[in-house]
Every structure is written in C-alpha cells, then in structure tokens.
Chains A and B, each alone.
Chain A
C-alpha cells in the first residue's frame, strides 16, 4: 500500500514538473506578480556579451514591482477578479552611452501589466508609449519581448523631454531577466 501511494505521488510530482511555465497565463501572472509582494528581475550584460552583440545598446535592464506601484494597486477598494488584475511595474535601463559626458545615467518607464488573451502584456503608462510581452520561462527567468517594429518609452530625467525607446538598437528586442533580490532593482 505504501509503495502504491509512493508511486502515485511520484507520478503526480513528475506530471507537475512537466507542466511548462506558460500553460496558463493567469498562473504565470500570479507567479510573476503576486498580490502585495515586490518582485525584481534583472540582467546586467557583461563586456563579452556586449561585444558579441554590437547592435544591442541596452547594457542593463531591471523590471521591478514595488514602491509606489504596489501602493497604487492597493488603493482600489477591493481586490479585482483574477482576470482583471493589473500589476504596476517600472522598467529601468542603462545604455552603452549611460554616464558618458553629457549623457544621462539611466532611463526608466512605468507600465501596467495584464493578461491579454494568452500572453502577459505590459503597456506603457505614457500616452503612445508602446509596450512589450513578458514570457515566464520554466527556469524562473522571464523574457521581455518587443515586436520588430515595437517600442517602449523610457525617460532619462524627471520632467525632461529626453525620451528614448527600450528598442533603441536592432538587437534590443528580446531580453532575458533573472529573478533577483529587491536590492538589485534599485
């Protein structure tokens, strides 16, 4: 009897492990953006990577959900049904020219993310600011994907007119970010 239970349990565990991330976009959404909890995904590209991808201009990318987005989400009177959930995030990027003389240090843009049919889509907070999709991978990493002709608007300073798209270079379309401690997203 014990062996039989163990066998059934093993089969269930094996089946569970076989279910790929992305099977249910709402599950992925909840896993990436759990209610009331901060999250942080980062990629700091090293010199070797940048040399191998000369058309990539983004040198680091952070996707963070924390203050003040979580407070805005918390402001609503009662939690929305699962299919109507929205997550407020911030995307922070540095580029090859960041910090060079006369250049801004880094760029940031806010977005609201939601499940759109069978994908997770993040739309810029700014008017006509574009957006991207987020794919949750089985390893816990995420892919930020911009369409070939897509864009996502970032600002380089408070109140300035120094707008720049995340899709700046020909090789700035897909980014793989790893889950990271919140401190890495500051």
Chain B
C-alpha cells in the first residue's frame, strides 16, 4: 500500500515538476544573468565551436517589458523577456537578440526573437546554470538543425543575415549564473 502511495506521489510530483523546470530557469520579474566565456582549453575539445562568449540577461529593461505584458494580458500570462548576446570566435563585436520566452511541452522554455519570426532557442535549468539549446534530435538520433537571428537581421537575404546556428559544436551551451555586469 505504501509503495502504491509512493508511486502515485512520485508520478504526481513528476507531472508538477515539468512546468516548474521552465519557471525555475527564468523566474518572472526577477532579474538574472547567465553568462559564459569560453577559453582555449574548451576550444581544444570543441574545435568547430564558433561561439566565444554567450549570455542571457534579464535586467531592468526585460522586467519592465514583462510587467507591461502582465498588466495587459493578465496574471496568467507566462511569457518572460530576455536578451541573448553572442560573440563569435575571432570577432570583437557582440550580437544581440531580444527574446520572448514561453513554456512549451511542459519541459523547457521556447524563446523566439521578439520582433520577427526569426528562429528559436530552448532554455532549461541545470542546478545553478541554464542550458541554451539550438535544434533537437529525433527519436532515431537524427539531429534537426536550427538557428536564431541576431541583430534583427531576419528581413535580409540569407547571405546577409547574422545568425547563431546549431553547427556541429554549437548546439548546447551551459551558462552559469553570473553577476549582472557579466551580461553587458
């Protein structure tokens, strides 16, 4: 009997935990910064990685945006705002995407470019870090690539766009929590 109760409890908690994962990654109306700068030791193990630095910020601007959505859409509105910044290897300029994120499939957050249909990334949480993922795999292991537009370049012809795409070594990024300064 105790075993049955435990199984039911675990099943219930499992169902409840799924959406919480997404909320835990980027809690609404709470500023956060997750950032990572990759070093030469990392690149030695990931020679095809193009991203040198990546961060996800939820600062004053994003929190204000969320409050605006919350006021207009009601308290059940679950969208969160975030700013993605990416610097590629060998480049000094950082590229930016203003994101709108929402829970999807009960597992993680799906984030798209706020001002244009310009691809998407997924975000979930791992301990004190967040994981940013681009693209995904089918059950048979086939990887389906994807992208997200940076610098609002989505109206340009493909060759003039700036995108972060899921290259061979640019599919998953683990970003630890950081001081807000690290996201600017």
Contacts and interface: CB of A to CB of B under 8 A. Distances in A.
Interface of A: 36, 38, 44, 66-68, 70-71, 74, 90, 92, 94, 98-99, 104-108, 154-159, 182-184, 186
A66 B146 contact: yes
Contact of A159 (B69, B116, B118, B158): B69
A104 B145 contact: no
B100 A70 contact: no
Contacts of A183: 158
A68 B144 CA distance: 8
A23 to B, nearest CB: 30
Contact of A104 (B79, B110, B115, B158): B115
A166 to B, nearest CB: 13
Nearest to B143: A67
Contacts of B26: none
B66 to A, nearest CB: 11
B100 A159 contact: yes
Interface in B140-163: 140, 142, 144-147, 149, 152, 154-155, 157-158, 161, 163
Interface stretch (B10-18, B29-37, B131-139): B131-139
Nearest to A161: B72
B165 interface: yes
B142 A159 contact: no
Q: Among B110, B146, B149, B161, find the residue whose CB has the most chain A CB atoms closer than 10 A.
A: B146
Interface in B57-92: 69, 79
A38 B144 contact: yes
B167 to A, nearest CB: 12
B155 A67 contact: no
